Amino acid sequence: MRRILTGLSVAAAIAFSASVVQAEPKAEVMHWWTSGGEAAAVKVLKDEFAANGGTWTDMAVAGGGGDAAKTTLKARVLAGNPPTAFQMKGPSIQEWFEEGVLADIDDVAKANGWDKALPPMIAAQMKCDGKYCAAPVNIHRVNWIWANPAVMKKAGVSMPTTWDEFNAAADKLKAAGITPLAHGGQSWQDATVFETVVLGFGADFYKKALVDLDEKALTSDTMIKVFDQMRKMRGYVDANFSGRDWNLATAMVMKGEAAFQIMGDWAKGEFTAAGKKPDVDYLCAPTPGSGYLYNVDSFAMFKVKGEDKVKGQKLLAKLIMGPKFQEVFNLNKGSIPVRTDVSLAKFDACALKSNADLKAADKAGTLLPSYAHGMAMRGAISGAITDVVTKHFNSDMSSADAVKQLAAAVKNAM
């Protein structure tokens, strides 16, 4: 009997050991990539995760440029049930780290040479107390104008390089019965247009106002001119813009229902998904002014329990920074690889211009974090700015009053 029991114990131990060794990587991934181009891009990561033996649970939360997903995340974390990974960026990574809920993936980073592959500025944003807690996916340029060349030709306008040129072109388009600016009336889209207008008044002004939060810049005559331009922009959108998702605004340009859209290069992912070609079916150009507003998507890893989830987390981090994924994902997403050693041979003219302009801006000191997309400041301050911007855009508030409210909102949120 003792021999039988001993044999059973050994067998059980072997079985248990085998189950631990054979634990399959699992990952519940929460994100807000739900448009056509975005869904195609995230499928690249999902398929590669599965090809490496992992089980992927997709937690896509649509709407609000990630606002709905962030609300869901807070509820999950408070309930003690965080996802394996969450799409996150900029200062919000540090905010969650301060809550004590982010995991350490520094071993993955060291094993795969992330410090050598990443620009130092971006590597620093992915670290918590000097150790990696998030994996960067890409670099998006925010300050783009997307345009329909056929519509522009019909109205006799060219791609604007200043806001005065934009206004002149928009007036011509409007007179021809064409919607000048495709826009979705959501606060984050209003903020996206606003920050590009600010940049159009100078990279130094942008830095002082939306990075340094300098009170003199926020209350300046230049900021009044920014809101004057925003009032003009409001007159260039169609009557049905309220609540429209950004990808539907992109579709308006694609279909010739509007001439321009101001949006980050994730818009290019929609053109790509629809089989459209740059410089043929659509045009891309920086918004007026010099400088490069960047937005880096990343996945922060939360503390999870279970060997399978931890393995899934590490596999996910490794794949995100893998050269293969960096190439294929960004070809679909419209962005450029965050790794500096990935070939751009397969990328189109818009991506090559983005990469060249990024390097030039970095050298010139005009590489700037997007406030509208969570790269420049913490959420409370950016939210306070956006509230003023969208309130002004959707009312008859004067530019002078908007500037006063802007300065007060920043002061109260700090």
| Whether domain 142-294+361-413 has CATH 3.40.190.10 | yes
CA distance 28 to 123: 24
User: According to the model, what pLDDT value does residue 3 have?
Assistant: 52
User: According to the model, what pLDDT value does residue 8 have?
Assistant: 43
Q: Where are the alpha helices (DSSP H) in 200-322?
A: 203-210, 215-218, 221-234, 246-254, 266-273, 307-320
CA distance 33 to 17: 38
User: According to the model, what pLDDT value does residue 134 have?
Assistant: 97
Query: Which residues, at least 6 apart from 14, have a Cβ–Cβ distance to it below 8 Å?
Result: none
| Domain parsing of the chain, residue ranges | 25-140+296-350, 142-294+361-413
CA distance 53 to 69: 27
Fold matches, 25-140+296-350 and 142-294+361-413 = yes
User: According to the model, what pLDDT value does residue 232 have?
Assistant: 98
pTM above 0.85, yes or no: yes
User: According to the model, what pLDDT value does residue 66 have?
Assistant: 86
Q: Can you tell me whether residue 2 is helix, strand or coil?
A: helix
User: According to the model, what pLDDT value does residue 63 have?
Assistant: 76
User: According to the model, what pLDDT value does residue 127 have?
Assistant: 96
CA distance 24 to 177: 58
Q: What is the tens place of the pLDDT at every residue in 65-106?
A: 788 999 999 999 999 999 999 999 888 999 999 999 999 999
pLDDT < 70: residue spans in the chain: 1-22, 64
Q: Are the C-beta atoms of residues 25 and 308 closer than 8 Å to each other?
A: yes
User: According to the model, what pLDDT value does residue 36 have?
Assistant: 87
CA distance 105 to 313: 8
The Cβ of residue 24 has, within 10 Å, a number of other Cβ atoms equal to 12
User: According to the model, what pLDDT value does residue 64 have?
Assistant: 64
User: According to the model, what pLDDT value does residue 350 have?
Assistant: 96
Tokens encoding 77: 């974390």
The Cβ of residue 80 has, within 10 Å, a number of other Cβ atoms equal to 8
User: According to the model, what pLDDT value does residue 17 have?
Assistant: 46
Query: Which residues, at least 6 apart from 19, have a Cβ–Cβ distance to it below 8 Å?
Result: none
Q: Which helix (H) or strand (E) holds 189?
A: helix 187-199
- What is the third-level CATH fold of 25-140+296-350? D-Maltodextrin-Binding Protein; domain 2 (3.40.190)
